[in-house]
Structure 1
Amino acid sequence: MCASGAGLAPESRAELLSILAGDADENIAQRAGSALLSIPVEAFASAAGKAEAAPQLLRYCAENLAAKPGVADALAKNKACPAELVVAVVPQLTTSAVQELIDDLARLADSPALAAALAASPSITIEQKKLLQELEAEGIDAKAMEEAVAEAEPDPHKKETMVQRLGRMRVMDRMKLALVGNREERLALIRDPNKLVQRAVLQSPKLTGQEVENFAAMASLNDEILRLIATNRAFIKNYVVVKNLLNNPKVPLDASLHLLPRLNDTDMKFLTMNKNVPETLRSMAMKIIRQKKLFQSG
C-alpha cells in the first residue's frame, strides 16, 4: 500500500501514510515515512484543512511542512487543529490567516499562547498588532465599566456586584464571559472599554436576534462595533436590524449606504425625515424613492 497508494486520492493517501508513519512496526513506519516524501504539498494542504483530518496528519504537517505554500494557513484555518500546533506554525502564516485567527475570539480566549505568538508574527500588520495589544491592557476604567453596567442591570445591588466582578477580570476573562455569559452580561460587555471584549459579544453562540436588534439601535456603541453588525451577513438578514442601523446616526455612512436598498418603501420615507442621520443618507433615500416612482409611472 505504501508504494502503490492502493488507488487512494492524494489527500487520503497523505492522511493514511501519516498514521502509518507512527506505526509500532518499524518496517511499516519507515516505508510510510519514505512514501510521504513523494506526495505533493498541495495534497497535504488540502487534507490539513479538513475538520475530520487525523491528528497524526496535522502534526506531520506542522512539524515537517509548515514552511511549504498553503500548509500553515490550512492548519490555522482548521478549527479542529490543536492550539499548540497552530502556535508552532504562526511564523509561517500569511497576513490573511493571521487576521482570521484574530477574528476568531473564542480561539484567542482559550489560548494566551496563540495570542502571544500572533503578536510576534512577522506577517502581522500594525493594525492587527494594535488590536492584539488590547489583550494585554492592564486595569479597567471604573467609570466606563459602571456606565456600561448601568443600562444592563437596573437593580442597584446587582449593578454594584457586576461592576466589582467585571472590574476584577482580565481582558481574556471578560472575552470568555462575553462568549458564554447571560444576556445582562452581554449587554454590559458590548459597551466594555476593550474592543476585543465588545467583538466577543457579537461572536457569542448565545446571542439572540433581539439582542442584535437592540445593539443596532444603540447610538452609545462605538462605530466599529456597529460596522461589524452592518457587515455581518447573518445579522442583516434580520430586517429590524437593518432598519435600526439605518436610523442610528453612529453607523458609518459607507455601511449605511450599502444597507439602504434593503429598506422597504414606508421605512425609506420615514428615513428621509430623520434629521438625526447624515444628510447624504437622507438625500440618497429620496433619490431612490424618486427613481422608483419614475419606474412605476413609466
Structure 2
Amino acid sequence: MTSQKKTVRLKVSPEVARVVDPKAPRELKLSAARGALPLSGRDLVTTLFFLAHGKDRDIRRSALQTFRALPGSILQPVALDAGAHPQLLDFMARYHLHDLALMEIVLTHSQISDETLIHVAGRATGSVLSLIANNDERLIREPEIINAIFANPDADKAVKFRLGWKDPEAEPTEEEQKQREDHAAEIEEMDDEVKSKYQLALEFGVSEKIKAALTGDKEWRNLLIKDSNKLVCSAVIKNPRITEGEILMVAKNRSAHEELIRLINLNREWVKNYEIRRALVMNPRTPLPKALRYMSTLTDKDIRELSKSRNVTQVIVNNARRMIMAKEKKK
C-alpha cells in the first residue's frame, strides 16, 4: 500500500492478495470494501486497510464506512497479534478512538508508533486519553505526546496538571510565588553558565525539560534531577551519560522522588556498586524487601552502624541486630 508519505508492506493471505492486487476487478474491490466478501476477521481488516488507502474514491469511502462499523470482536484479535503492523494499529486508533476495550490493546501495543500516540493524544478524552497519559515510558521517550495532550482542548485539566501543565490564565498560588522568589535567590548565587541554564529551565515547558534531561550535560542533569515533575527527573536517570557518582548522590538523597529510587533499583549494573546499595538501604523510599536484601551484602562494620542508626526504619535496625546476633552465634 502506498500513501503520500510512505509505503507499507504487509504479508497477506492469498485471499487478501486476490482482492488488493492492482489488477483485481473494480467490482471485486468494491464488494470487499462493502464487506460483502466471505473473508475472515483478520483478512477483512487487512483488506479494508489497503482499500481505504487506495486511489479509487468510492472504494476508499466504502472501505472506511465498513471499517468504522466493525465490532470489537473482529478488531481485538487483530490488535492482540504481537506482530501487528504499526500502520494497522494506527488505522484502528484513528477510526475506533472511542472503543475503550480496543484502545486498551492498541495504545499499549509494543508496535504502536509515536506518531499514532501523538495523533490520539491530541483528540482523545477520558479513559482513552488516560491510557496515554499514564504511560510514563512513552511520554519520556517522545515528549511531543505531552505537547499534544496540552494542546487537546477536550483533555481533562486534571490530566494536564498531573503532567505539569500550567494554566496560562491562572494566578500563581502562594506556594508558586514563594518558589519563584526562592529561584530568584538561587540564581544570584550561581556562576554565569549555570545561571543561564537555570533561567532556561524555568522558561521550558515539560517536553523541553524532558529533552534536556535525556540529552543534557552534567549541569543540566544536576538542575533537572531536582525537578518536581516525575517525568522530567526520571528522564535524567535515563540520560545515557549519567554517571554512577550522580546515581549515588540520588540514592543518598532521602527526599529524592520515589520514582528515581525505583529506577535505580531496577538497574542491575548500578546496584552492583556497593556504595549505591548501602545508600539505598538507608533511603526511606527504597522498598523494604529490596533494602533487606541489600543488607545481606553489606560489611559487618556497616551492619553495626545500621543497628544503632536513628536515620533508618526500626525494621532495618532490628534486622541489623538480628544479623549481628546470628554471626556471633556462629563463632
Equivalents in 2 of 1:236, 1:118: separation in Å?
43
1:273 aligns with 2:311: no
Contact in 1 for aligned 2:221/2:236 (Cα 8 Å): yes
In the other structure, the counterpart of 2:75 is: 41
5+ residue gaps in structure 1?
Answer: none
CA RMSD of aligned residues (A): 4.2
In the other structure, the counterpart of 1:65 is: 96
Query: How far is the alpha carbon of 1:185 from its aligned partner?
Result: 0.8
1:88/1:74 Cα in 2 relative to 1: closer, same or farther (>3 Å)?
A: farther
> Matched residue pairs, number?
276
Q: Which structure has the higher relative contact order (CA within 8 Å, separation 6+)?
A: 1
1:266/1:30 Cα in 2 relative to 1: closer, same or farther (>3 Å)?
A: closer
Equivalents in 1 of 2:43, 2:304: separation in Å?
58
Q: How does 1:99-178 map to 2 (within 5 A)?
A: 99-100=134-135, 104-115=139-150, 117=152, 120-121=155-156, 130-132=161-163, 134-136=164-166, 141=180, 143-144=182-183, 156-178=191-213
In the other structure, the counterpart of 1:239 is: 272
1:255 aligns with 2:300: no
Q: Deviations over 1:2-32 (max 9, x none)?
A: 5355xx8x55753453122221145764775
Query: How far is the alpha carbon of 1:287 from its aligned partner?
Result: 2.8
Equivalents in 1 of 2:51, 2:162: separation in Å?
42
Report % sequence identity: 18
Question: What amino acid does structure 1 have at the position aligned with 2:165?
Answer: L
In the other structure, the counterpart of 1:91 is: 126
Contact in 2 for aligned 1:243/1:267 (Cα 8 Å): no
Query: How far is the alpha carbon of 1:201 from its aligned partner?
Result: 1.8
Question: What amino acid does structure 2 have at the position aligned with 1:181?
Answer: G
Equivalents in 2 of 1:213, 1:199: separation in Å?
15
Contact in 1 for aligned 2:122/2:148 (Cα 8 Å): yes
Q: Deviations over 1:237-259 (max 9, x none)?
A: 622233321134xx32x624433
Q: Deviations over 1:54-109 (max 9, x none)?
A: 2xx34431343223343223343224442113433343528555422587234345
Q: Structure 2-normalised TM-score?
A: 0.64
Q: Deviations over 1:34-71 (max 9, x none)?
A: 87548712134325x757422xx344313432233432
Q: Structure 1-normalised TM-score?
A: 0.69
Question: What amino acid does structure 1 have at the position aligned with 2:182?
Answer: K
Contact in 2 for aligned 1:142/1:167 (Cα 8 Å): no
5+ residue gaps in structure 2?
Answer: 1-14, 16-31
1:284 aligns with 2:319: yes
